[in-house]
Amino acid sequence: MEPLYFPPRTHVPWNKGKLTGQKPPLKLSEVWAIRTRLQMTSNIRELAMFNLAIDSKLRACDFTRLRVQDVCHGSLVAIRATVLQQKTQRPVQFEITAPTRESLEAWIKARGLRAPEFLFPSRLHSSPHLSTRQYSRIVHRWVASIGLDDTAYGTHTMRRTKVSLIYRRTKNLRAVQLLLGHAKLESTVRYLGIEVDDALEMAEQTEV
């Protein structure tokens, strides 16, 4: 009896056909393009989600677990919020701008959410809140809706967008470090994609 022959399995890399590496931030014009589309379609949930993702600069794991009480004081959305980051166990504070407060209040009222509840509940019974995978799909949809290649973008795009705009305007690394909740300046440097020596020189020039 002849031995059975099993052809070797072909290993397909997980990143085949995908763009990997640092996800680029959105440009200001692209932020407004997505925001306008969400407003035109009256998508209350995703407009609140998009605005808060830009303002909060949170990692996906922290953003999807936000509760109403994290961003509200009583029945009103707060001007500032503080969240404990899961990855670093360090608190990070962020401003909630007026347009974001308005869209959040509309979403909370429309959904009838209460203080202890998750801000963005999942539509699946298996999860009490939006999952990072669901959030990622939504981000890709936002990006594709304005004609960008969504494979080049991801949830970190939302985290990087506002700080990149702030850095371009101010060149203040320390401010960006605080906004991102990074423990080390080097982490902020890598995140922004600038040279270490240039970054340290800029930091010294902006020290108070």
5 within some domain: no
The answer on 190 and 156 residing in a single domain is no
The answer on 131 and 80 residing in a single domain is yes
The answer on 132 and 89 residing in a single domain is yes
The CATH number linked to 111 is: 1.10.443.10
Q: How far is CA 35 from CA 9, 90, 119, 182, 193, in A?
A: 46, 30, 19, 28, 26
pLDDT in tens, 163-184: 888 888 888 888 888 888 887 8
CA distance 40 to 20: 32
More reliable by pLDDT, 186 or 45: 45
Contact 135, 150 (CB under 8 A): no
CA distance 164 to 192: 7
pLDDT at 170: 81
The answer on 87 and 188 residing in a single domain is no
The answer on 180 and 109 residing in a single domain is no
The answer on 45 and 113 residing in a single domain is yes
14 within some domain: no
The answer on 62 and 95 residing in a single domain is yes
The answer on 178 and 110 residing in a single domain is no
The answer on 112 and 51 residing in a single domain is yes
Contact 192, 167 (CB under 8 A): yes
12 within some domain: no
> Domain tally for the chain?
2
The answer on 175 and 151 residing in a single domain is no
| Domain containing residue 156 | 28-161
pLDDT at 17: 44
Is 83 in a helix, a strand, or coil? strand
CA distance 208 to 138: 41
Q: In whole angstroms, what separates CA 100 from the centre of its chain?
A: 14
pLDDT in tens, 47-104: 999 999 999 999 999 999 999 999 998 889 999 999 998 988 889 899 999 999 999 9
